[in-house]
Amino acid sequence: MNIYNKLREVILGLMTLVAGTRRMLNNTLYIKWIFVGAGCVLIGFSVYFLYKFVGNMKAYF
């Protein structure tokens, strides 16, 4: 089995997973709250990394 067949299987699997997830979460209310939750997680990560960055900069100055 060469690399192209394996890559094709991986891409097909990912496409199937995405299609199934979109079909399951077709209701816009669920999608809205998932996006809100994902946004909160991203904001949390950015605050954490900003805190770590400022802490590291204090060590240099």
Task: Count other C-beta atoms under 10 Å from residue 60's C-beta.
Answer: 5
pLDDT at position 17: 85
pLDDT at position 24: 72
pLDDT at position 48: 94
pLDDT values of the chain reduced to their tens digit, one per residue, 61 residues: 577 788 888 888 888 888 877 777 666 677 788 888 999 999 999 999 999 999 888 888 7
HEC readout, 10-56:
HHHHHHHHHHHHHHHCCCHHHHHHHHHHHHHHHHHHHHHHHHHHHHH
DSSP code of 7? H
pLDDT at position 27: 65
Residue 37 carries which side chain, given as an amino acid letter? G
